Amino acid sequence: MTPDADNARPRAKTLKLGAFAIVYVVWGSTYLAIRVAIETMPPFLMAGTRFLVAGGVLFAWLLLRGVPMPSRLHWRNSAIVGVLLLLGGNGLVVWAEQSVPSGLAALLICLSPVWFALFDWARPGGTRPSLTTWLGIAVGFFGVVLLVAGRDGHLAGAGVGVGGLAALMVACASWAAGSVFNRYNAKPESHLLGAAMQMLCGGAALFAVAALHGEVTPAAWAGLSGRSVAAFCYLIVFGSWIGFSAYVYLLKVSTPAKVSTYAYVNPVIAVGLGALVLDEPVTARVLWASLVIVAGVVLITLPKRAPAKA
């Protein structure tokens, strides 16, 4: 082995650990930023503009640096992933946070590993979930039931919309489907180029939905608050350029099960920031449901033993 190869391994490991740290911590804060941004900005227009700006700037910067133009196949795959991740996944989260507190939204998105396991099984040549994984799926869904339904059958927390909760469940499935598709299909060699292309495609889809929803009007930009604009800029820089690029990189160099462990940390940060900044309620039921959901995620993402050789 050459000295260059010896030096490359520690660098690659450090880069991977840094990407995990970014996805764990930064993405936990984006739920709060989304909630603040849509206080005075229409949800789909905010999300679409965010990804079009972030993806466009990143794409132009990469081309100026001499990164090769992507192929038609790469654009097709990026369009599929962008729609699943950013329209179905992120877009529905943004829309749901109009009626669901940011911390509660993060807890429900914590169930993404459930869908990771199911979609990874459904793909051609996929891995059948083990008994432990099925147990984790059951525990995770029980945690959701515990979280959203009280003893009298009413939704936990005042002002929580049923539509928002349903949208978050669909967002989980869409995000996992896009992540698994991205993992096993052709993409550019540069993970940054792949992220930029997905943001452009997903942003365009979000902007189209915003137009159909009647959000693309001059009045949509009137009355913006300073803190909504600050949150919007935070989402572009930290949520998209740094966080999303780190996530796409991890899907390239790690396994879906390992990448999905961000679900352990994101809810803790989101719930804490929501309570601290927006005074979102943290009840005993929320805490117990959080423990149950995270326990289910832990069971799903536990390392699987390799089958014994004959």
Is residue 193 pLDDT above 70, yes or no? Answer: yes
Helix ranges, 161-241 (H) = 162-184, 191-212, 226-234
Kindly state the tokens that stand for 294: 């995270």
Task: Report pLDDT for 152.
Answer: 42
By 3-state DSSP, what share of the chain in percent is helix, strand and coil, each rounded to 5? Answer: 75, 0, 25
Task: Give the residue among 77, 73, 60, 41 at the shortest CA–CA distance from 206.
Answer: 41
Query: pLDDT-derived band of residue 153, with 50, 70 and 90 as boundaries?
Result: very low
| CB-based contacts of 153, cutoff 8 Å, min separation 6 | none
Kindly state the tokens that stand for 93: 């989260």
Report the distance separating Cα 256 and Cα 175, nearest Å. 12
CA–CA–CA angle 64, 65, 70 (5° rounding): 80
Tens of pLDDT, residue by residue over 117-152, are 888 888 887 778 788 878 887 887 787 777 666 544
User: Does pTM surpass 0.85?
Assistant: no
Task: Report pLDDT for 236.
Answer: 95
Highest mean pLDDT among 12-16, 178-182, 198-202, 249-253: 198-202
Task: Report pLDDT for 202.
Answer: 97
| Coil/strand/helix, residue 160 | coil
Say if residues 136 and 261 touch (Cβ distance below 8 Å): no
> From the CB of residue 156, how many other CB atoms can be counted at a distance below 10 Å?
17
Tens of pLDDT, residue by residue over 266-287, are 888 888 888 888 888 777 777 7
Query: pLDDT-derived band of residue 307, with 50, 70 and 90 as boundaries?
Result: very low
Task: Report pLDDT for 59.
Answer: 96
Q: What DSSP character marks residue 237?
A: I
